[in-house]
Amino acid sequence: MTAPNSRERILPRLIEEEMQQSFINYSMSVIVSRALPDVRDGLKPVHRRILYAMNELGLVPGRPYKKSATVVGDVLGKYHPHGDQSVYDALVRMVQEFSLRYPLIDGQGNFGSVDGDPAAAYRYTESRLTRIALAMLEDIDKNTVDFQANFDDRLKEPTVLPSKIPNLLVNGSSGIAVGMATNIPPHNLREVAKAVELLIDSPDATIADLRKAIKGPDFPTGAFIYGREGIKEAYETGRGRVVMRARAQIEEKESSGRSQIVVTEIPYQVNKENLVKAIAELAMEKKIEGISGVNDESDKDGMRMVIDLKRDAIPNVVLNQLYKHTSMQSTFGVIMLALDKGAPKIMPLKQILERYIEHRHEIVVRRTQFDLEAAQAREHILEGLKIAVDHIDEVIKIIRGSEDTAEADARLRKRFGLSEKQSDAILNMRLAKLTGLEIDKLEAELKEVRGTIKDLRAILASKPKRMGILKQEMAEVVEQFGDERRTEIVADQGEFTVEDLIAEEDMVITISHT
């Protein structure tokens, strides 16, 4: 047996130890870097990278759309070293109005449908950010969030977005990691904003208090939620079960006088085409009696699924059977799992809101500090220009008497005690700035900047002021993007009984004596 080469870096190790450690590393990579959203901005890394890349490309509202292929390529080449299809799938979901309560990307082209139709290939579709996505990115250029190196250390990417929108709750999230999964339902922005304001004013508010603001999930597809107990459990523990039911009404068909069931809204994440097929199959197999036909009459104006009934059918019984045997009634299993400081946690409603408020408070502090430093830098320049204006004849004499810029710079700094930046500003000042009107403007700007510095320092010195800013910004968000609730919450009517599924009929019972 030959002796091992001392230059080789091969270490013998038991395969079970290596497998165990490698699987742990893989698990943490999936949990932290792929499958779970951050509690602060509600985004997984791929979604965050897409939004940031689109912002860097200038794909904002009011600007032309660009091919989705451009976006996918930019995200892959700069930030996300994974498959192109996974990036495009994430982009597509952020466009779909039936997937996100408040879509973050404005798409042009075929981005799929509630019938389960796939989106067109990314070479055919175009996209840009929505206005609400811009609110997610607002102030990112003011050192409000930390940045990290990208996969090849050439660029920087944000570890989280400023997120003026409480995105985790309003758009929800779903994903399967290793050994854990998340499934957070979407909510109404107005209600979540109201809960945020309530918690700012009353940090000791209970889940019961918060539930007065947030009634429950608000799905993009509307429909009904049956029962409040599942919502209460989810908000208190982070886990719960929400029963969703389609919105349907019974109508009389004028031409034939027969009844028909018209479905206009279906539960969240239900495939409408599959639902139509399932109803047709149940009718053909006689598992549901009384259905003569099913037609999908949906168009650009909205959803309309018509279930024609036989003449002798009892509409309410058929409807109950449809709820019992099809996805016209389905369950949303709530698992409010998100990353909190890099660790996966199942969090109740209050904790999610608290983490969001903490994040936004940090954004306000860092933004205010950035603005203060910028204002102080401008004040410093204006003070130097003011000195030059007050001694303009001497300044001109020094400049004209110097051989070059370097000498003029050194003499000005020595004579008036200027900094390098102040001296540079004076040397680069145009002669037009020496007019009386421009001098007045300079003095007015200096006064304004000093007022701004005073206000910014007051904000940094007062937490109540910062919390007031949070509430004000939340009100602005609601004013811009708030809308009415789509999903109606009704009292639980309990499980179906046998009587609910059987039509009432007159019966004759004959008893004979033998």
Q: Read off the amino acid at residue 327.
A: S
Rounded CA-CA distance 346/153 in Å is: 33
CB 140 within 8 A of CB 158: yes
- Rounded to 5 degrees, φ, ψ at 413 are -65, -40
Structure tokens at 336: 């409010």
Please list the helix, strand and coil fractions of the chain in percent, rounded to the nearest 5, in that order.
50, 15, 35
Residue 71: how many other CB atoms lie within 10 Å: 24
For residue range 121-167, list pLDDT tens digits in order. 999 999 999 999 999 999 999 999 999 999 999 999 999 999 999 99
Q: Which domains does the chain have, with CATH numbers?
A: 43-162 (3.90.199.10), 247-327 (3.30.1360.40), 368-461 (1.10.268.10)
Query: What pLDDT is recorded for position 11?
Result: 80
Rounded CA-CA distance 188/486 in Å is: 8
Q: Read off the amino acid at residue 11.
A: L
For residue range 446-499, list pLDDT tens digits in order. 999 999 999 999 999 999 999 999 999 999 999 999 999 999 999 876 555 544
- Rounded to 5 degrees, φ, ψ at 296 are -100, 105
CA dihedral 496→239→236→350, nearest 10 degrees, is: -130
Strand partners, 291: 309
Collect the ranges in the chain with pLDDT lower than 50. 1, 498-499
Query: What pLDDT is recorded for position 1?
Result: 45
Q: Which of 356, 458, 371 shows the shortest CA–CA distance to 142?
A: 371
Q: Which of 356, 317, 326 shows the shortest CA–CA distance to 498?
A: 317
CB 489 within 8 A of CB 219: no
* Active-site residue, 124 included: yes
Structure tokens at 466: 């910062």
Query: Does the CA dihedral 316-318-324-326 come out positive or negative?
Result: negative
Rounded CA-CA distance 436/305 in Å is: 75
Work out the angle at residue 114's Cα, subtended by the Cα atoms of residues 91 and 45, and round it to the nearest 5 degrees. Answer: 20
Instruction: Give 337's Cβ-side CA count (13 Å radius).
Output: 20
Q: Which of 265, 267, 269 shows the shortest CA–CA distance to 96?
A: 269
CB 375 within 8 A of CB 445: no
Distance in angstroms between the alpha carbons of the first and the last residue of the chain: 101
Of 52, 88, 102, 124, which is the active-site residue? Answer: 124
Rounded CA-CA distance 286/403 in Å is: 102
Query: What pLDDT is recorded for position 449?
Result: 97
Q: Which helix (H) or strand (E) holds 20?
A: helix 15-30
pTM passes above 0.75:
yes
Q: How far is CA 10 from the centre of its chain?
A: 46
